A and B are shown apart, each in its own frame.
Chain A
């Protein structure tokens, strides 16, 4: 929980949940697990607001609560972790992936679940059906069964999972949480302290039998007030559908596996060609269900199997496939490895190796873009040769001595390159010590990851600043838009519309356009930095698992 992470989490909470939740959340992040009284006392907020914020945080999975440390009698403690809050940056990507895989219905289901945190299947299906109905042509409505089937598909492919039942509250049938290999790094921890993962419960991916018959309701503009009132009455109406108490949440890990696969496939496509990427895609698709999330590589697949499972549009001959596989194995990026000779050759996709190489490529490109291609050459050299003296660096990189020295010092001052001393004598006399330059990939990746968090936090702050600067102008334009919309709805003449539009002067319009451009740029920059964050985080987590 570094300072940069806490700052970024605070900004994300502020943008999505308001300032009160931000205050409570950052306080919990900084001070670890605390009970309610302490939180109220230290944040200085009113009791009601703190309770509501904690409810919101628990609802969205950012905070977990457990009985206190001192035993059963002590008050419940609340614990927040950065990871879940940092996922908020990736929400657009999750929604977009759902759209590509399952269409608009899938997109809206994921969006609903991300907005609400934990919901039941029936409420999600109803809300999504209503939203889809609104966007459809007049007279057509969306059937609940269609939405339910998409929901079931999402659960089958593990993109959605059930929220784990609370410890002690749940039924006695479910056994005590099993320490699955999915929880990283705690093989010998006692069962009580580590929180159970959702996957340790056997019914994690079971779709409940829900009786949902109906169609989406279209909300008509004229009956808006009545609709809202009837909607409120419907909420208080105890309509049971047979799935009370079963809450669903988005399974981020599954999405991350999907992103990882996509990254590997596109990397192969960029480096080699389309056919090789199709082969890798086939291999990954075949091993989707057999590979555990933390596996180093997929299960070995024989060339015969791969040949049979290739998509029918790619009718390449068997010897060509063998050639492609040999090419992939020999490639220095080591995406595909050979694991045996039976069945025409057993091949695996080296997942961890691929992630490490992709992270390495990211580091190299960072150095290149910041310091120039010659510094990047030195950096790559040090990555491959591990330890080099200054003289050797100059010789291998073929850069004149003075410039090589300057570049090395710049990289050293940015902490991208480290110095290792190897003494010849027990006193570290400078004349009798070897000074070797080295690059360590993992610590450098961690440092860059923190830089990325800082970058995103800066981008968000700049965007908030720009919005605040032009707040008056934005409010004015919003009011004018509202007036225009109401005029158009009530059928006004074009002259009235132009008159209202002219209330914004030309320079103001220009200012608004520039503002919009800046905000869009800052937002897309955040999205792009998040891609790098994902890559570096996956790499770091993969090293955690294997170590």
Chain B
């Protein structure tokens, strides 16, 4: 369009100076976001067909949400750990497993092996970091063991892996907890809260004089 850039007020200004009429006022700011409309728009066409189309559209949208091709990333905002998380996670995994396209029609690089929870390769990857941690724990003090347990729990919450991994971790934690309990019991026997020197075996009982009754006996 030859006059594309000139379709603004400036050109008509030029034209009007020639013709001798006053130019229309030029607008110096962007147009309002919701301009006032001089003509009201027509109402929508109603009718049976339009309603049926509307229902079809909404049904289709709803149906697409439940299909396996509706991908949503596993949301990992764990401000508070909820009981329902355990069930929600398994539901999502089922959906992903449902869809098995014909891999011959896709390039090989797109092949995603969705692993079932009890696959070795995944849990093997998880198991390699914990064992060195366990060894370290045997050496450190009780308080640091507690701290490590807490951090492990947090890590477990943040991980987006399948349930089984969490369970294997829980098993490992249980083992560690058991180890700690044993440790506690041993300590218990050695360091009790009761100071042995205070123990009376009853020999001196009654031997103390009851002479000074002024002292209050608490």
Residues in chain A within 8 A of chain B (CB atoms):
15-21, 36, 45, 48-49, 51-56, 58-60, 65, 75-76, 91-93, 95-96, 111, 114-118, 163, 166, 169, 232, 235, 245, 247, 369-372, 406, 409, 412-413, 415, 418-421, 430-431, 435, 440, 443, 520-521, 523-528
Contacts and interface: CB of A to CB of B under 8 A. Distances in A.
A372 B101 CA distance: 55
10 contacts: A20-B71, A115-B60, A369-B42, A370-B37, A412-B12, A413-B7, A413-B8, A527-B50, A527-B53, A528-B50
Interface of B: 1-4, 6-9, 11-12, 14-15, 17-18, 24, 37-39, 41-42, 44-45, 49-54, 56-58, 60-61, 63-64, 67, 69-73, 96, 98, 100-102, 104-107, 109-112
Contacts of A118: 105
B105 A370 contact: no
B44 A524 contact: yes
A91 B57 contact: yes
Given A55-B110, A59-B69, A418 B56 contact: no
Contacts of A114: 60
Chain A facing B: main interface SS: helix
A369 B41 contact: yes
Contacts of B105: 58, 118, 163, 166, 169, 247
A431 B105 CA distance: 68
Contacts of A169: 104-105
Given A16-B61, A56-B69, A413-B8, A420 B53 contact: no
A540 to B, nearest CB: 17
A92 B51 CA distance: 11
A479 to B, nearest CB: 13
A98 B49 CA distance: 13
A235 B44 CA distance: 45
Given A93-B53, A430-B14, A443-B1, 12 more contacts: A16-B64, A18-B72, A45-B73, A91-B57, A92-B56, A169-B104, A372-B39, A415-B4, A418-B1, A418-B4, A430-B17, A435-B15
A52 B96 CA distance: 10
A325 B110 CA distance: 58
A525 B38 CA distance: 21
A207 B26 CA distance: 66
A91 B102 contact: no
B111 to A, nearest CB: 8
Contacts of B54: 92, 520, 523-524, 527
A95 B56 contact: yes
Contacts of B71: 17-18, 20-21, 49, 52-53, 56
Contacts of B72: 18-20
A96 B104 CA distance: 33
A252 to B, nearest CB: 16
Interface centre among A36, A55, A521 (most CB of B within 10 A): A55
A216 to B, nearest CB: 18
Contacts of B57: 91-92, 523, 526-527
B24 A55 contact: no
Nearest to B52: A96
B113 to A, nearest CB: 10
Contacts of A371: 38-39
Given A92-B53, A430-B14, A65 B107 contact: yes
Contacts, number: 148
Nearest to B27: A413
A53 B112 CA distance: 11
A114 B59 CA distance: 13
A526 to B, nearest CB: 8
Given A92-B57, A369-B39, A524 B50 contact: yes
A96 B56 contact: yes
B112 A51 contact: yes
**Nearest 6 A-B pairs (CB), nearest first?**
A419-B3, A92-B56, A92-B57, A92-B53, A56-B69, A18-B71
A18 B56 contact: no
Contacts of A20: 71-73
Contacts of A15: 61, 64
A115 B14 CA distance: 58
A420 B112 contact: no
Contacts of A18: 70-72
Contacts of B110: 36, 51, 54-55, 58
A51 B70 CA distance: 14
Given A96-B53, A419-B6, A527-B57, A115 B102 contact: no
Contacts of A59: 69, 101
A54 to B, nearest CB: 6
B1 A76 contact: no
Given A18-B70, A418-B3, A419-B3, A92 B60 contact: yes
Given A166-B105, A370-B39, A419-B6, A17 B69 contact: yes
Given A166-B105, A528-B44, A115 B24 contact: no
Contacts of A17: 64, 69-71
A95 B53 CA distance: 9
B112 to A, nearest CB: 5
Nearest to A76: B107
A539 to B, nearest CB: 19
B107 A421 contact: no
A227 to B, nearest CB: 14
B210 to A, nearest CB: 74
A430 B15 contact: yes
A421 B63 CA distance: 56
A434 to B, nearest CB: 11
Contact of A48 (B9, B52, B112): B112
B29 to A, nearest CB: 14
B25 to A, nearest CB: 11
A325 B53 CA distance: 35
A81 B61 CA distance: 22
Contacts of B70: 16-18
Interface centre among B52, B101, B111 (most CB of A within 10 A): B101
